[in-house]
Structure 1
Amino acid sequence: MNGRIIGIAATGCCCAIISARWWPSLPSVVWQCCLFLTTGIILIACFGRHYYTSKPTPTLWWYCSAMLAGFCTGSLWAASLGQSYLTWQQLGGEIQRDVIIEGRIVRYQMFPDLHRVLLDTVKEDGMRWPANAKVLLNYYRPDRHFKRGQRISGQVRIKPARALANPAGFDAQQWYVSQQIVKTGYVRQALQLIEPDLSLRGRLQMRLITPSIPGGKWLNALLFGDRQQFDKDDWGLLQRTGTAHLFAISGLHLIIVAAFSLLLVKGIILLLAAANMRLPENLRPLSIMVMLSCCGFYGYLAHWQVAVVRAFVMVLIGALLFLLARRNSRLQVLVFTLLLNIVVTPYAIYGSALYLSVGAVAIILLYYWRWHHLTRLPVWLQCILLQLTLTLGMMPLVGAMLGQVSLVSPFINILLVPAMSMLIVPGCMMGLLLSTMSPTQPLGEAILVLTGRLLEWVMRLLDDIDQGSVGWNAFSLESVDIALGLFVLMCLMVLPAFYGQKRLVLIALLACSPLRSDRWWSNPPWQVHFFDVGQGSATLVTRNGEALLIDTGAGYGATNNYIERVIQPFLQAGHYTLKQVYISHLDNDHAGGLPAIKRLYPELPVITPDTGCLSGRHYEWQGLKVNVLWPRANMHALSDNDRSCVLLISGLNHTVLLPGDIEQKAESALLTLVDDEALKATLILAPHHGSNTSSSTQFIAQVAPRYVVYSQGWLNRWGFPDTRVRARYQNLGAEELLISETGYLRVELGHTITVERFRHGKRTKWFHKTFSN
């Protein structure tokens, strides 16, 4: 019974800690004190009743108390972690600072236009940060490149780690929390190497992974967990084929190393026995110690990344249970594995890898519980069935966490996992071990070359499969509830029959159905969406499942743009069809996503001041009137800003004015061009992001908006919006909406006007609400 009570308490603790991922706010100090007192009262009541009264404590009392105590303890733990993160994130205030940063490189990514450096064990102007607090730096136009494990220093400009806030696309803020990144910034002066990586790991990596070895980047990933040489095409291939997990050192790799080491120990024991050497009767502890040592050395080579630590914990738990010959329920093993992983890597609850790892363990335990009779089959057939079950069971979880699943993944993994298990990973380890010893160094290097060639052939085969399955190799899961519903449905289908099973299956089917609503993509009369794209502009007008896009936000290089990062995921999640694109002018902060638009939507009409966005053009779309007010034809003498395409969209007694970056010269011309009433608008997107060169008093008075939206970046270097511009709008009674404070903004225009601010939403997570007032 004691074990069951501890298991229930651990379950409550895990549930509370994981729930912090969705908390809208962190508990205040008062609430934390209440939780602490509640936990203490529960424990005192339980143990006092048990030891100081003659009445037996009911079992249900113990179970409920254990669950509640675990939940309170987990809530306290999660709240303290969140407060610790916010303390370091907000240290120094809402400003940018030039400081001297020193730190050890944890991750180093090279892009065509910049290098991205992640540092830990940081010192800021000589002040040491907590060991796990990290800073993420962009290194523009680098004069050299560095490697993971090196210690560097340089002058940088940093600010609190506060990402853009949009309801679709990659959640960078949640990733910051999961990685404990508390500051971001960019390098102002060239970084200097102050301490090379002289560790055994660094020397091995420099000596073994050279340009002369084929498949070097793949060997580097498998041996040292270093994937900085992977480019976007490599990542795309691995994601579409569902094989990214094979090149991220995790539980699979450590299990292979464990099995390889145990086979090696068994072989040595057989040789010693053949030589008639006297051996101890019980060699299990020795074998387990050798196995854990090999796994630990592999973890050391991989820089003890979070996923490696998590995998090692799971191997360690399995080894201890084996040595102690403890018979615990599978559910208890799963719960304690999850709890221990949370304790070791607490911020991992905000990422996805923890749930994928524990999900894989859960599927394996479920497989051996549900189909234990299959253990009588041949080992090779058991491995195939287990791999197939694991791949199919993980597909909904992968879809929920990553947004898409690979349809060819089950077939590819059935082929590649055995190859990885029996050839590639053992070949890597054998080559590494032999290369470290002088007599066998040539043999070790030959094995690494052979393994590298095999990896190159495997990747060419993967590429051929990917090219041959274009159009159906990846399936997007546009809603997390669908993916989780599918996962629950699969679990219910494989469980033995029990009372209420059919009802639960029906509930899971309803969760998977499209009959659901989401406040971010519901269809009222019409909506205007202002995306958080930093110092830029991107606006979407939607009605009846169709959309008009006005400006794309900035683009940085060939692959980094807000169309692919934010707008396309939003369109897919809301099931919107993009019908037309307007570009106010061709500055990067408004038109940086044009190459992505032309690549993703090649048939879509794109209208700019040079291709038809001229005064007098008007048409109806979905019952709304779209009027182009500016510029007039043959006005090339004006600046690009003053030639911005100005749109007036109206319907249902509301009007929205989108003026691009026009300045006061164009504003004055526009006032003389149109009637006094023609410029009246319910809402205006402030010209030129709120610059004082725009938004003249006469122009604002003519528009007379109820709402003004400033699309500008947080802590932007121009100081937009200008305080004088804000005063002009305030004097006319306009309500201000700053994208830098609200994040993504949605305005619903119907019989009433509803404004929803992403950072201020009731369901918005706590880490999105920093610096939002």
Structure 2
Amino acid sequence: MPLKMLLFALGVIAFGYSPYLPSLWWILCLLPLFLCCWYWPRLWYGAALVAGIAWGIVAGHQLQQQQLPAEFVGRDMVVIGQISGLPERDSQRVRFNFRVQSISTSSGEPVAVDHFPQVLQLSWYRPRTYGSRDTSDKTELPSLVIGDYWQLTLRLKQPRGFVNPAGFDYQAWLLRQGVGATGYVVAKKDNRPITPTVTSFHWDDWINQRRHNLQQWVVQHTDSSERGILVALLIGDSALVEKVQWQRMQQTGTSHLIAISGLHVGFLALFGFYVGLLLGKCVQLLWHRCPALMIAWASAIACAAFYAALAGFNIPTVRTLIMLSVFYASCLLRRNLRVIDIFCWALVLVVMLDPLAAYDMGFWLSFGAVGLLLVYFSGRLVVKPSSAPWSGFTLKDMVIGFIRSQWVMFIGLILPLSLLVSTVSLVAPIANAIAIPLITFFVVPLLLMGAAVGDAWLGLSELLLAAAAKAMELLAVFLDGLLAATGSWASPVVAFSPSLLLLLSLSVVVLILPRGFLPRYLGIAGLGIGAVLAFLVPAPIKEDLKITLLDVGQGTAIVVQVGARTLVYDTGPQYTHSFDAGSAIVAPYLFAQGIRAIDYLVVSHRDMDHAGGMNGLLERVEVGQLLMGEPVPVVSSNNNAPSSHSCHSFPAWQWQAVQFRFLVVPETARNNANNRSCVLLISYGDQHIVLPGDIETRIEHQLLYTDQVPESLALVVAAHHGSRTSSGTLWVQRTRPRYVVYSAGYRSQHGHPHPQVQARYEAVGSQAINTALAGAVVFRWRHGELQAVERYREQARRYWYGF
């Protein structure tokens, strides 16, 4: 039975990576297979795998049906609905989920609710006043309360995310949240709260209101620097966690503790069990036949379910809740279940409830950690010194067991972490040895008790919260000291080749297997050899020149690789206070390539769609030299941030057979930020590439008149994302690029690339590529010729890209 369940789950997970969504009629072709299983029972294993794939197909069609129809994209729609989820607010906008109740067009024509998504994710931006010298906008964003009804004029589009190597699939995340469309509130006088004629109760709104109240309790009653982490530990909402805190926890391998983990749910279930047992004993005084254990089991499940709900039912908490429920249900029915059966039931139910759960890192880490502990600890014979019930459970035995569990998870999760985030925390065992007991048995109980007391005993509540905050501050000091003592070796960047990955996987298996199967020294030797090859032996270079244009929306971020040397041209935009392209898109891509440091960082000019991610990138990656078209403030917690130089006076240089040169723009012509852009010319034999930033036609003409731009370029990135103020007729006709790439946002309000610009490049025979449609684009040169052009949205296609 466990093998069949594992095969079913494998089928669901595997289909989640399918590039296309087949018709539901294909499921009928599977019926003969199930009929054959009655005559050949061994076919049930294949049938379980196929059944998982069929479940994935059905779930895919359900996700497709909840998407916004194409006819409503970009149109103003008047929607009446209800605020749901926790709104996220910053200085410029508030983002929230909106549950649809009724829809009409801007002309008042009603739209059937059945043909419209049930949940929308919306942004309400602060109004901007253009042309005013007073940049301080005193217009307040509306106060949105969970459960309130509003009438809003919206402009919507289908869910879409950036597609990059090693990037986060935002579209898959939206699908998993049940969001069928994204958009923003159009500034209209008719946007107002309303009193509905018919209301309905939603359990998730009641939970979210409790989560909001707890969030405000923490925010209003402590000014600790760690209050964002306290909120995450209490309700699983990490929106208030600072970027520096995230990086600290990731580098020390303790990020799994920031949000509510399965361990916290298990702890609360244990607390609920003993409270229920005490209550059951009291009930037995009045009703002797009442089994106290039944009340204890029900109390444990209730406490675990409530805490999982506070966490927003993330995957680790759902996994723990299912495992506890199955275990207590088997106790109630007096059935014997093996631990592996409980594990498989949790796995199957999680992928059935969330077929795209494999796109959540918590899925792999949660089930991977539990699976490792089961393999290492279950089924092992333990010699006890005596027959006493508590023999073998002394403090010494528990400490040894805890150390062994941390060692097993550290060894076993090295490879999953290297594949998921391209970094491994070497100090994780030391950090977790302190952080896990402190958070699980001290901080979380204090938070729960303080929240339970609340306003009924405000003094005690604030005291408990202050104690939890002080403990987290001391933990932060310890983790910072640990990182300072170990330096860059605390969390090295790793990118394993397939052969090296196989060697390390076999070594880990040897170390985890029980003694007697294979000698342990083989596993230790394999890990040692793998570490030497990964960190000391450079990976072979497959191409002479590689240029990657990352998909960052309305912005630019380009990575140029020549052998072991790396240049980054622009860092993309800053989307919110805590999210920017430099740290969230460029850095993960570099890590996935095994790049620990870059030689040159070029920031063409100070516009936020080019320089917005600079500080975020500097915090995560070491930079040799920083070159700028105009001064941009460097605000980074990295003490080794490089000094900046002007790119306009920087000399040319050469890496192997590739030459780099900044084209000279007369200082008198740099009359605005766009025209102060760094224009970089890359030459590889007779292959020439131009990265022009946002220069306008005036600068283009200056460069052409001074014969700085070669004719017949191999590649040009369209200046200013394809704006009609750039890519003039003379520039296009003289350069005649083989490829032109528009780095623009999907359905951007700026309308880039402009149709006139597209027509000009099309007239000279250039092949156009838009990152909004193609995702990240990779150009590879070898032996003096362009060998490959890869469009990542096609190369790593998922079936929901076609929704």
Report the TM-score, using the length of structure 1 for normalisation: 0.83
Aligned match of 1:56? none
Percent identical:
24
Paired residue type of 1:188: V
- Partner SS state of residue 342, structure 1: helix
Encode CA deviations 1:230-286: one digit per residue, 9 max, x unaligned: 33344344444444444533422232222212222333455677xx76622743323
Structure 2 distance, partners of 1:460, 1:489, is 38
Higher mean alpha-carbon deviation, 340-349 vs 604-613, is at 604-613
Structure 2 distance, partners of 1:265, 1:28, is 50
- Partner SS state of residue 160, structure 2: coil
Structure 1's 289 and 598: CA in aligned 2 closer, same or farther, altered over 3 A? closer
Structure 2 distance, partners of 1:389, 1:151, is 53
Which of residues 715, 725, 734 is equivalent to 1:693? 725
Matches within 5 A, 1:320-335: 320-335=329-344
Structure 1 distance, partners of 2:159, 2:741, is 24
Aligned match of 2:792? 759
Would you say the 8 A contact 2:510–2:518 is kept in 1?
A: no
- Indicate whether 1:608 and 2:629 are aligned: yes
Would you say the 8 A contact 1:352–1:401 is kept in 2?
A: yes
- Partner SS state of residue 138, structure 1: strand
Structure 1: give runs of 5+ residues left out of the alignment.
50-60
Which of residues 499, 502, 514 is equivalent to 1:496? 514
Aligned match of 2:181? 183
Structure 2 distance, partners of 1:248, 1:380, is 28
Higher mean alpha-carbon deviation, 10-19 vs 721-730, is at 721-730
- Indicate whether 1:117 and 2:96 are aligned: yes
Structure 1 distance, partners of 2:179, 2:532, is 37
How far does residue 319 in structure 1 lie from its aligned partner after superposition?
0.7
- Indicate whether 1:388 and 2:403 are aligned: yes
Matches within 5 A, 1:391-402: 391-395=406-410, 396=413, 397-398=416-417, 400-402=419-421
- Partner SS state of residue 166, structure 1: coil
Higher mean alpha-carbon deviation, 607-616 vs 171-180, is at 607-616
Structure 2 distance, partners of 1:608, 1:269, is 73
Structure 1's 365 and 180: CA in aligned 2 closer, same or farther, altered over 3 A? same
- Partner SS state of residue 631, structure 1: coil
Paired residue type of 1:256: F
Paired residue type of 1:541: V
Structure 1 distance, partners of 2:336, 2:361, is 30
Structure 1 distance, partners of 2:479, 2:661, is 45
- Partner SS state of residue 96, structure 1: coil
Which of residues 207, 210, 217 is equivalent to 1:209? 217
Aligned match of 2:374? 365
How far does residue 469 in structure 1 lie from its aligned partner after superposition?
1.6
Matches within 5 A, 1:182-331: 182-189=180-187, 199=206, 202=209, 206=213, 209=217, 213-214=221-222, 220-268=231-279, 279-280=288-289, 282-302=291-311, 304=313, 307-331=316-340
How far does residue 559 in structure 1 lie from its aligned partner after superposition?
4.6
Encode CA deviations 1:134-158: one digit per residue, 9 max, x unaligned: 4333333352454666665533332
Structure 2: give runs of 5+ residues left out of the alignment.
105-110, 127-139, 196-200, 385-390, 632-644
Which of residues 5, 14, 18 is equivalent to 2:9? 14
How far does residue 73 in structure 1 lie from its aligned partner after superposition?
1.0
Higher mean alpha-carbon deviation, 191-200 vs 332-341, is at 191-200
Would you say the 8 A contact 1:116–1:138 is kept in 2?
A: yes
Higher mean alpha-carbon deviation, 542-551 vs 327-336, is at 327-336
Aligned match of 1:564? 583
- Indicate whether 1:657 and 2:690 are aligned: yes
- Indicate whether 1:540 and 2:531 are aligned: no
Structure 1's 423 and 624: CA in aligned 2 closer, same or farther, altered over 3 A? closer
- Indicate whether 1:626 and 2:660 are aligned: yes
Aligned match of 1:104? 83
Encode CA deviations 1:107-154: one digit per residue, 9 max, x unaligned: 333345443324456765575579996433333335245466666553
Structure 1's 70 and 94: CA in aligned 2 closer, same or farther, altered over 3 A? farther
Higher mean alpha-carbon deviation, 661-670 vs 697-706, is at 661-670
- Partner SS state of residue 89, structure 1: coil
How far does residue 504 in structure 1 lie from its aligned partner after superposition?
10
Higher mean alpha-carbon deviation, 193-202 vs 146-155, is at 193-202
Aligned match of 2:592? 573
Aligned match of 1:674? 707
Structure 1's 616 and 759: CA in aligned 2 closer, same or farther, altered over 3 A? closer
Encode CA deviations 1:620-654: one digit per residue, 9 max, x unaligned: 33322223334124334x44434443332212321
What is the root-mean-square deviation in Å for CA atoms of aligned residues? 4.0
Would you say the 8 A contact 2:692–2:718 is kept in 1?
A: yes
Aligned match of 1:139? 124
Structure 1's 719 and 329: CA in aligned 2 closer, same or farther, altered over 3 A? same
How far does residue 588 in structure 1 lie from its aligned partner after superposition?
2.6
- Partner SS state of residue 679, structure 1: coil
Paired residue type of 1:554: P
Aligned match of 2:608? 588
Would you say the 8 A contact 1:370–1:494 is kept in 2?
A: no
How far does residue 451 in structure 1 lie from its aligned partner after superposition?
2.6
Which of residues 28, 36, 57 is equivalent to 1:45? 36
Would you say the 8 A contact 1:687–1:694 is kept in 2?
A: yes
Paired residue type of 2:52: G
Structure 2 distance, partners of 1:667, 1:736, is 20
Structure 2 distance, partners of 1:293, 1:336, is 19
Structure 1's 619 and 115: CA in aligned 2 closer, same or farther, altered over 3 A? same
Aligned match of 1:71? 49
- Partner SS state of residue 469, structure 1: helix
How far does residue 423 in structure 1 lie from its aligned partner after superposition?
4.4
Structure 1 distance, partners of 2:569, 2:220, is 50
Would you say the 8 A contact 1:615–1:633 is kept in 2?
A: no
